[in-house]
Amino acid sequence: MLIQHFYPVAAYNIIEKGYAHFTRLPRCNTLNMKVSFFPITLHGGYMNPKKVALTSLTCMVVILMFAVVAVAQYQATAKAGDYDVAMTIDRNPPVVGQNIVTIAVKDDNGKPVTDASVRLEFGMAAMPGMPAIDYKSNAAPIYEVYKAPMTISIAGPWYIHVKILRDNKISTAEFNVDVQ
């Protein structure tokens, strides 16, 4: 009930008078106290519209930052023999330095494969004046996925091979990434 009453008053006062006055908010004049809500301070029921706008803008920026962080992972899928392999890198695009790779391996029935040995082999092909770069990193099983560190030394096009050893058979999923 309180919200139904104070929104029209706030809209009218901000548009017509340039300030927000909420008659239904608590007043603490008898105790000479200020009522605080978020970083906006109410004293005697008045609220500065600049502070309202700044607080709203700040909240929206923080929410957008969290949304960007939530989707800031590189994701790709490939087949490796009978397996479906989903690779996720913690940074998008992958960067020079430390990256964490998460690998999910599923069989033909869509069930996670947890009894395999998984290794990353990653590198960069030879270029004029530069030899080929080749690295290896063993992935550790963590619940239904495998995780491995991937340290990249130079920006450019890199290949990532996910090697899966299960039942004495090696299957390979191949990925290409552009490192920034």
| Local confidence band at 167 (pLDDT 50, 70, 90 cut-offs) | very high
Give the span between the Cα atoms of 3 and 135, in whole angstroms: 61
Q: Summarize pLDDT for 56-107 with one digit per residue, the tens.
A: 667 666 666 655 555 579 999 999 999 999 999 999 999 999 999 999 999 9
Query: What are residue 151's DSSP bridge partners?
Result: 98
Q: Regarding beta strands 83-89 and 46-47, do their DSSP bridges make them parallel or antiparallel, or are they unpaired?
A: unpaired
> Which residue did the predictor score with more confidence, 24 or 164?
164
pLDDT at 12 over 70: no
- Is the separation of the CB atoms in 19 and 10 below 8 Å? no
So what's the pLDDT on residue 17?
Answer: 53
Q: What's the farthest any 2 CA atoms get from each other in the chain?
A: 81
Residue-averaged pLDDT of the chain:
78
pLDDT at 143 over 80: yes
So what's the pLDDT on residue 51?
Answer: 72
So what's the pLDDT on residue 72?
Answer: 75
pLDDT at 2 over 70: no
| Mean pLDDT, residues 139-145 | 96
So what's the pLDDT on residue 40?
Answer: 47
| Local confidence band at 54 (pLDDT 50, 70, 90 cut-offs) | confident
So what's the pLDDT on residue 23?
Answer: 46
Give the span between the Cα atoms of 115 and 170, in whole angstroms: 13
Number of Cβ atoms within 10 Å of the Cβ of 159? 14
Domains parsed from the chain with CATH numbers: 2-70 (no CATH), 74-179 (2.60.40.1930)
Query: What are residue 145's DSSP bridge partners?
Result: 142
| Mean pLDDT, residues 46-60 | 67
DSSP 160: E
Nearest in space to 179 (alpha carbons), one of 108, 110, 93: 93
Bond before 93 cis per omega within 30 degrees: yes
When mean pLDDT is compared over 18-27, 30-39, 51-60, 113-122, the highest value belongs to 113-122
